[in-house]
Structure 1
Amino acid sequence: MMNPKQVLDVQVSKGITAAQSNEHLRDRSERAEKYAMTKGNYDPTRKHLNFEVVSGGKIRPVDTSRNIPERMADILRFRGIKDPNEGLPEPKYRTVVNIIFGGSRERMQELAFGSQKVDYEKDADNSHIQRKADIERWAKDVYSFVSGRYGEQNIAAFIVHLDEINPHVHCTLLPIKDGRFAYKEIFAGKDKFEYSARMKQLHSDFFSEVNTKWGMSRGTSISETGARHRSTEEYRRMLSEECTSIEENIKRHQQVLGELQTDIRLAERRVKGLTTMVANLEVQKAEKESLLSAAELDLKENKGNAAELAYRIKMLEKELQGISRQLADKQEKLQTADRQLISLKENMDAIAERTETLKEEAYHYSQDVHSKVDTLLKDVLLEDMVSEYRSASVQMGESERQLLDGSLMQSIAERGTEVMHCATMLFLGMVDDATTFAESHGGGGGGSDLKWGRDEDEDNRAWALRCMRMASRMMRPAIGKKPKR
C-alpha cells in the first residue's frame, strides 16, 4: 500500500433536507433503494455493516427512527436555541456543517474488513463479510476529535458507511457556540484567508491527533487545492444531492406561492367585505346625522311635542354613537387588511422572483453538471487510451512503433505528467519556466530558438492544442541524450 493519506472535506449548508438525511441514514424506500443500486457503487449486502457513534463514543446500528432534521430540532429544543432559519420563506443562515472523514481507499478497506476478500463488483454478495474492530476504534477516535474541538452536544449525526467502495464518516455538526449559531466565528473567520488558514490547521490537527497512529499521512485538504477528491460514486452523489437541493427549493417556493395565493384571495375578500361595511355605515351615519339635525331644528322652533322631540334626539345621538364606533372599528380593520394584502402581494412578488432565479440556477447548474461530467469522461477516455497504447506498443514490431515515434500520443503515454505540467506553463505564458522544467527533466528536443506566443485570433482550444504539441516536443530528450525516467 503506497503512502495512505487521510481525507477531510468540510461543506457548509443552510440546513439539511429529508432527502439528504435519508441518504446518510440509508433510510430509503424500496424504489429509491433500487434506483441507488443502479446508479452507484452501493453494496446492499454490506448495508448492515454501517453504524453510528453516539454520546459517550458508543457504537450502535444506524437509527432511522428519527431523521437528521428531527434530531437537530430535538437538540435545539432541549437547549432552548432557536433555528434562525425557522419561519423564513427561504433559509439564509448557515446552520449545518457536514464533514466527511476518511482516507485512501485501500487503508480504509483494511480498517473496515481486514484481510477478508470483499467483492466490489456490482451485484456481488458480501453478506458474509464482518465488520472489523479497527474501523470502530478509528471512528471513535474521529468522534472524540470532533467532540473535543466543536462540542459533543453539537453533533447531530455521526454515520459510518461501509457499504460504499471507500469507507468513510459523515458527520453532521451544528456550528453553535455560547448558545447561538456562530458559523463564521467557529469556521469561516473574518475573510477567505483566515478560513483557508483554519482549514489547513484543522487538517493538520486531525492528522496529528488521530491519523498518525492509524498510519495515514496528512495529505492535502480540499480547501487547499480547490479540488473535490471523491470517488466516482461520491462525485455522482454530490451532484445528485446538489440537484435535489435545488429542486426541493423550487418545490418549496412553489408551495409557498400556492399558499400565498390562497391568503391573497382571502385577504382580498376581507378587504372587499370591510369596504362594503364601511360604505354602508357611512350611509347610515349620514342618515342619522340628517334625522338628528331635523329633530334639533324642530325642537328649537317648537314644532311638535318637546318631550317627544327630546327623547327622539337622545335616541338618535345614541344610535349615532354606536354607528360611529362600528365605523371606526371597521375603518381600522380595513386599514390593517389593506396593509396585509399589500404585504402578501409583495411577498408573493419576492417569492415568484426568487423561484424564477432558482429555475435559472437549476438550468445553469444542469449545464455545469454536463460540463463536469464531460471533463470527467474526457479524463477517463484519455487514461484508457494511454493504457491501451502502452499495452499495444509492447506487442508492436519496430516498424509499427516507428510510425508513432514523436507523436503526441506516445509522448503522453510515456511522460504524461511532465508533458501536462510543461503545457500548462506554456499556456499561462511562462515560457522560460517551461523551458527550464523541460531541460531539468531530461528534455531539450524542442529547441531554444523557436518563436513562441499566442496569436491574437487564436481561441483557447487551438492555443491549448499547440501548447500540448510544443510541450511534447520540449520533453523529448535532446539528441545524444537518453530520457530521464
Structure 2
Amino acid sequence: MNTDIKQAMHVEAGKSFGTAEANENERRWNDEKIDRKNQNPTNHYDKTRMKLNFEIGPDGKVHPLGYQEKSLGVRLQERLNELNWKPFKSGSKIQPNCCAKFVFGGNHDRTLEMAFGNQSVNLNKGSDNSHLHRCEEIENWAKDVYDWCANRYGQENIVGFQVHLDESSPHIHALIVPVGVRPKSGRECVMWSAKFGKDRYEYGRVLKEMHTSLYEDVGSKYGLERGDSIDGRNVQHLHKRDYIRKLTKDARQAEKAVKGLQSMMRHLESKIFSYRMQLEETEKELASGRITLDRYEAQKADIQKLIAEYQTKLEDKADKLHAKEQELERLTADATKARSVVQPFRNHKVDFTPPQITEKVPLFGTDKWVERQNQHIAKQFTEIVHKIESLYRNDAVRQVEAAQRNVLADYGELYQLKRENKFLSDINKNLELELKTLLEQLAIPSVRNLIFAVADALIRGQPIPVSSGSGGSTSDLPWDGQRPDEEEEAYRRRCMKTAVSVAMRSRQSYRRK
C-alpha cells in the first residue's frame, strides 16, 4: 500500500498576470492551440477530458470552466482597481506583488480516485477517455479548498478558482489578491506582507501554518496527509535537468560547509590541547617552586576559562556539522532519486474472501456436486488472481510511462541545449572577431590613445568630435548614453566597440590624406 498520500500546495507571488496564463487556466483554447501545446513532451492536455474541467464561482457553487463572460485577467484588474492598486513607474525593474498564484493537488492516485472513482483512465497521449464522468468527491474537495481560501483571504479576493481534470493529475489553480489594512488610514489595499509575511523567515512560518491549516480543514477529510512546507523560499517548478543541477550545486555547498566545519573543529581541538599543555606546564612550575600559589591559581583560572570557551565553540560546531552531514546525505539521495526513472512497485492490499464450499454434500449425485463446487471455487480464485495481476500490470505500465516521459523530457532538453550551444557559439565567434580587431588596433600607440580617449568620453555620455575625412572638418558623434535596461559591463563594452570603430575610421581618413 502506498503510504505517501500527501496533500500538495504551491504558492507563487505574482507581479502581473498575463493573458496566456489566464487563457491556460480557463482553457480558452481551440483544438489547434491544444495540439500545439501537446507538442511539448512535458505537456499532456487530454481533449476528451476537458469537458470534465470545472470551476467554483463567487457563489461557491460548481460551474463549467470558463463560464464567466469576463476573462480572468479582466476580473483581476477590476479587483485591483477597486483597491486603488497602482504599480510602480512603468519600466521599473522592481514591481510590487499584486496577486498570489496557488496550485492545490495531492497524491497522484488519490486525486485520480477522487475525480474518477474506479473508472479506467488511460493517461497516454491521444487516448480516448470520453467515457469518463466526474465524481462528486472531487467537487466536494474543490469546494472545501475554496472555503478554506475564502475564510483565509476573503471570498471577494478570490479572482479565479479553476479545477483541471484533463492533465496527468487533478489539481486546482486559484488566483487570489492579498489584501491588508493600512495602519494609518485604516483602508484596505493590496498588501502581500499582510498575508505572507514581511521577509523570507516570516514567509516560512506562514507556509508551515498554511500546510497545517489546510490539512486540518480539508486534507484530513479526504485521506491526504499534511504536505511538506519549504521554509522561506518561493519554490518554482524546474525541469529535470535544472532540478538535478540545483541539487548538485546544493550538495557541493553542503559538502564544502562540512569540510569547513571539520577544519574549524580540528583548529578548536588543537587550541584546547594547547591550553591543556599550558595548564600542565603551570602545575610543573608550581611543583618546582618557580611560581607562587597565587600566580598559579590566577593562571589556572584564565586557562580553564579559555578551555571552557573553546569547548563550547567545539560543541556548537559539532552540532552544526551533524546537521550539515544530514543535509548532505538528503541532497545526495534526492539527486540519485531524480536521476532515476524507475518507480518502485506498490505493495497492494487486496481485500477478498477465500473460496468456500457453501452447500452440503448430497446423498446422490456426488460427482456432479464436486464438479459444481470446483467450478465455483475456480471462478472465485481466478477473479482474485486477475485482480492482483491487474494491479501489478498497471504498476508496470506506470513505470514504462514514467520512463517514456523522462526520455521525452530529456530529448526535449537536449534539443534546447543544442540550440543554446549554437547561440553561444555564434556569440563567441563574434566576440573573438571583435577581440582580434581590438588587439590589432591597440598595437598602434596613437590609435590606442585615441580609442581610450573616445571610450572614456562615451562612458561619461558625452558626444565626441570625429573627423569626417574631408577638409579636416569635424562633426559630433551623437551618443545616447547608457540605456535603462543595459548592464554596466555591456554598456562599457558597447562604448569600447564604438571607440574602436571611430579609431578605424579616423585612421582610414588619415591614410587617404
Q: TM-score range by the shorter chain?
A: 0.3 to 0.5
Normalising to structure 2: TM-score of the pair?
A: 0.45
TM-score, normalization by structure 1 = 0.47
